[in-house]
Amino acid sequence: MSRLGSLGARLYRGEVGYDFIGKRKIWYGISVLITITAVVAVAVGGLNMGIEFKGGAVFTTPSTSATVAQAEEAATTASGHQAIVQKLGNGGLRIQITEVDLAKSDAIKAELSKDLKVPEEKINADLVGPSWGEQIANKAWTGLGVFMILVVIYLAIAFEWRMAIAALVALIHDITITVGIYALVGFEVTPGTVIGLLTILGYSLYDTVVVFDSLKESTKGITKQTRWTYSEIANRSINGTLVRSINTTVVALLPVAGLLFIGGGVLGAGMLNDISLSLFVGLAAGAYSSIFIATPLVADLKEREPQMKALKKRILAKRASAAAKGESAEDEQSYEDDVIGEPAPAAAVVGQRQQPPRGHGRTPGKRR
């Protein structure tokens, strides 16, 4: 078995663990800082909306010896607006200029032909109206709203309303961070970006539901025992699915990273940046939020319930009594296997610990 696989098995069995829930205030603080930075970036710098949303003209030239910098200067001078130029695979250029109408496009086309030394009739000009982009944006917002509503309804039915709220917060967190990154780096927002944003929602939700499903199974009959609190069992659920989340995230990020850094960065296929950046940031944020935001938030909400408060009070009192006697809580009572299914670990402990032997010289399910 590989080292990572061995670690995953040890995490699942509870032999090792990391206290994610206990340090949740740190994760909340980090997320709040990142989210505020993203919101400020959008509010101050704004988003670099593509031509599909602002309207304008796209000129495509045949193969030319002109460089991207020369084409940008020529297009900016001819139009009076900042131009975005991308090198195409056939050696041609894609020149994008916003706020250009039909009458002005002919004059720009003639100037480009002269400056770039290509026949005017071989330069293709396409005009894009801003209304088309507005329709795309409106439909995207509508789709996002419907998706959020369906997610909340489904999770509330399949799990419970606290998990539905936690998942919704995690989704909003992921979208905000992704949009903020676009504002910070200045990448162009295109319909491909919108597609990427909608795609990452499903992935983020997938990771969250995996942890929630484990948590739901582990907390069945939780009030019938007095050994572990809800937060400690939630911490075990995170640890038990941690390696799985890491594996799926890395596998998903590798091809997206290839599109972003190799395709868009090294090879210069700038159009790949539109969708690959949103996917890359969104996938990473989704994995983070499922572990550090969604599940800790569920634990916070559940610990507010009267039953969970009473359970925690009994557990703390029992541990205090055991400590006063010089015993451990594990010696005083074995965890009921028929309640949660198998012995749950002390999730707040980091590092290896000794597992109590099953059976322990007693009748299963019966206190000593």
Which of 74, 96, 128 is a domain's end point?
A: 128
Contact 50, 90 (CB under 8 A): no
Q: Residue 366 domain-assigned? A: no
Calpha distance 257→276 (Å, rounded): 7
Q: Both 43 and 75 in a single domain?
A: no
Is the sign of the CA dihedral 98, 102, 108, 113 positive or negative? positive
Q: Return the closest-CA partner of residue 196 out of 280, 279, 269, 254.
A: 279
Q: Both 140 and 202 in a single domain?
A: yes
Q: Residue 161 domain-assigned? A: yes
Q: Residue 361 domain-assigned? A: no
Q: Is the pLDDT of residue 297 over 90?
A: yes
Calpha distance 331→356 (Å, rounded): 9
Q: Average of pLDDT values for 12-32?
A: 82
104-115: pLDDT as tens digits: 888 888 888 888
**pLDDT recorded at residue 70:** 84
Q: Residue 110 domain-assigned? A: yes
253-295: pLDDT as tens digits: 888 888 777 766 556 555 666 788 888 888 888 889 988 999 9
Contact 200, 174 (CB under 8 A): yes
73-92: pLDDT as tens digits: 888 888 877 788 877 767 78
Which of 302, 327, 357 is a domain's end point?
A: 302
Q: Is the pLDDT of residue 365 over 50?
A: no
Q: Both 41 and 182 in a single domain?
A: yes
Q: What is the DSSP string of 246-308?
A: HHHHHHHHHHHHIIIIIIIIIS--GGGHHHHHHHHHHHHHHHHHIIIIIHHHHHHHHTTSHHH
Q: Is the pLDDT of residue 127 over 90?
A: no
Q: Both 30 and 178 in a single domain?
A: yes
pTM over 0.75: no
Contact 225, 336 (CB under 8 A): yes
Q: Both 19 and 161 in a single domain?
A: yes
Q: Which of the pair, 176 or 323, is modelled with greater confidence?
A: 176
Q: Both 251 and 172 in a single domain?
A: yes
Domain that holds residue 10: 3-49+132-302
Q: Domain total for the chain? A: 2
Q: Return the closest-CA partner of residue 285 out of 188, 161, 155, 197.
A: 197
Which of 82, 98, 128 is a domain's end point?
A: 128
